[in-house]
Amino acid sequence: MTELSKARRAAVTALLAAGLGLAFAPAAHADGPAPGAPEAVPAADLAGARSAVQDPSVLDKVGHFFARKGVPPTQQLTIGAAEEAKAAGDAAPRLAGDTVPVYTLDAGFVAGTPGAPVAKAEFTASKVVAADGQTASVWTVRQGDAWRVVNIASGGDESDYAAKAVGSGGGTAFREPQVNAWYVLRDGRVLPLDDEARRSVGAGGVSLAAYQQLVHQRYGDKLPGSAYDREGKGGGYPLETAAGGAPKAAPEAAPVAAAGGGSAVPAVTAAAALGATALAAAGVGAGAVLRRRRGLR
C-alpha cells in the first residue's frame, strides 16, 4: 500500500470519527459493562443498519465498486459503461457475517474523564463479498429513524477484527485511527490485534490504565477544542490538492473523536461535512466515500 493510500484511509476514518457520533441507545445490562468497555449497541440498531445495506440500490453500488476494483467514479477505466454494468451484475454482491458496531478511541478516555469508555461506537460495518472473492465493508450511520450508507471500503477490516477479537477470547475490538491500530479490550487489558497495535502496546498488551496514559501522551494536546484542533490540523483532506491533483496527506495525528451524548455532532451534520471536504477533495461521488486499505493480517 502506498503512503497516499494510507493517508486517504486515515483521513476518511478521522472525518467519520470526528463527527458521525451515532445516537446508539445503550443496551440494558443488569451489571453494566466491564470497566472501560463501551455500552453494547442494541440488536435492533444493528438490524436496521443491515437492512439499509441489503437495499437493492446499495448492493448495486457495491457491485459497481467491485467492477471498478475500488477506482472512484471520477476516474476512467479501460472498460466501457456497458462492460462495467455487466461486471457489476456478475459480481453478485452478498452480505457475509454479522453487521458489527465499529468502536473508535474516545476523547473522554484520552482526556482522563472518570468513567469514560476506551472507545465509542461511530458507525456500523457490514462485510459484502463478490462472486470472484473481492470483499468490501459498507459503513452505515443512523440519521433520525433511518440508516444511511456513508462509505464503501475495500477489504473487511471492521468485521474481521471484531471476529478476531471474539475468536481470541472475547472482548471489544476497537481502533485507534491515528496510528491505524486495532486492539481488543479484555479483562481490563488492551491487547493488540494487528501489527500497528503490537508496535504500540507490545505483544502482551498493557493495562487499561497504562493505555490511557499512553494515548493521553499522544493526543492530550490534540483533543477537540485544543489549539491544534482550532488551527485546522485535525486531520481530513484539505480542499487544495498536491501536484497531480491528488489530495495532500493528512496530518500524522488527528484529534480524537468527540465524546458521545449531547456533545456529539449530529450524523446529518457530519455527513454534510464529508460532502464538503473529503468527497470534494478526493474527487469521488456523493453516494459513498471510496476507501482503499490493506486487509487483515
Each residue's pLDDT tens digit, 95-124: 999 999 999 999 999 999 999 999 999 999
Each residue's pLDDT tens digit, 213-262: 999 999 988 777 766 566 665 543 332 222 333 322 333 333 343 333 32
| Lowest-pLDDT choice from 37-51, 147-161, 224-238, 266-280 | 266-280
Name the helix (H) or strand (E) containing 104: strand 100-105
Residue 237, judged by CB atoms within 10 A of its CB (0-12, 13-18, 19+), counts as buried
pTM, to two decimals: 0.72
Neighbours of 287 (CB within 10 A): 16
Evaluate whether residue 297 is within a structural domain.
Answer: no
Evaluate whether residue 174 is within a structural domain.
Answer: yes
How many domains, the chain?
1
Evaluate whether residue 89 is within a structural domain.
Answer: yes
Evaluate whether residue 29 is within a structural domain.
Answer: yes
Which domain covers residue 90, as residue numbers? Answer: 3-291
CA distance 168 to 34: 18
Mean confidence (pLDDT) of the chain: 74
Evaluate whether residue 296 is within a structural domain.
Answer: no
pLDDT band at 177 (very low <50, low <70, confident <90, very high): very high
